Amino acid sequence: MDSQSYLPVPPGVGMEENFLSLDDILLSHERLPSRTECLFPRLGFLEKSTDSQDIQEGTKMELPLWLAKGLYERKRRVVSIELPKVYREGWRTVFNADPTVVDLHKMGPYYYGLGSQMLHFDSPENPEIAQALLQTFIGRFRRTMDSSQNVYNEDTSALVDRLDCLERVLFKMGQRGLNSFQGWEKGRASHLTASTLVLNYRKRKMTDLQA
């Protein structure tokens, strides 16, 4: 049986994040260019470029997503977030033209995740961003499906390089289905193999305990 011994919490796709998901935690480390709208007294040590004691109004800083989401308020008194380059007009037309040639891993490994989180920040371009995300996903789906279902027992790093994290998960699922089918066809399904949990947990030898 290929069911896992423990199931990690999956990332929340879309505008919600799962609190316990490791992928979402890593995603929220992405930095966003932003501008402070009010004074942050005595926090000058966070801003390395100026030497003042506080962060002045109107400073441009890079804030991680978790901080930006927490500080953002509808009345926009605290910070205002700019869209990263990848979600702006220029790149959106590139994605519209041909989504399959873009190296999504380079554009930030969490392209879809971060894009969905950006929709929290009430930018006037929100509908276009959401549409662009969807269309990019649909455009690249064919490539992901074909490559995941046809590569067996070869080095997949060249294919997986250009995929973003969401697509990598899908790729792995496709590979798993393919591998289990091929394994069954070869008759390897009836071989007993050690569970991965046992393999990873190596018993300490008596000599190590006594040392």
Partner 1 sequence: MDPSEVEFLAEKEIVKIIPNFSLDKIYLIGGDLGPFNPGLPVQVPVWLALNLKQRQKCRILPPPWMDVDKLEEVREMERKEDSFTPPPSPYYMELTKLLLNHASDNIPKADEIRTLVKDIWDTRIAKLRLSADSFISQQEAHAKLDNLTLMEINTTRSFLLDSLNCMFKLRSNMQPGTSAGKALDY
Contact 49, 149 (CB under 8 A): no
Torsional sign, CA 180, 160, 82, 69: positive
Q: How far is CA 38 from CA 32, 73, 96, 186, 194, in A?
A: 18, 12, 37, 66, 59
Of residues 20 and 43, the one with the C-beta less far from partner 1:
20
Per-residue string for binding with partner 1, 159-188, x by CB under 8 A? -------x--xx--xx-xxx-xx-xxx-x-
Among 131, 158, 161, 195, binds partner 1 (CB under 8 A): 131
Measure CA of the first residue to CA of the last residue in the chain; give whole Å. Answer: 39
- Tell me the per-residue interface mask from 19 to 58 with partner 1, x by CB under 8 A, - otherwise: xx--------------------------------------
123 binds partner 1 (CB under 8 A): no
**Tokens in use for 127?**
């509908």
Name the minimum Å distance from CB 11 to partner 1. Answer: 10
* Residue 103 CB partners (closer than 8 Å, separation 6+): 161, 162
Please tell me whether residue 137 binds partner 1 under the rule CB under 8 A. yes
Q: In the set 138, 158, 197, 198, which binds partner 1 (CB under 8 A)?
A: 138
Q: How far apart are CA 103 and CA 94, in angstroms?
A: 12
CA-CA distance, 59 to 57, in Å (whole number)? 6
Which residues make up the interface to partner 1 (CB under 8 A)?
Answer: 1-2, 9, 12-20, 112, 116, 119-120, 126-127, 130-131, 133-134, 137-139, 141-142, 145-146, 148-149, 166, 169-170, 173-174, 176-178, 180-181, 183-185, 187, 189-190
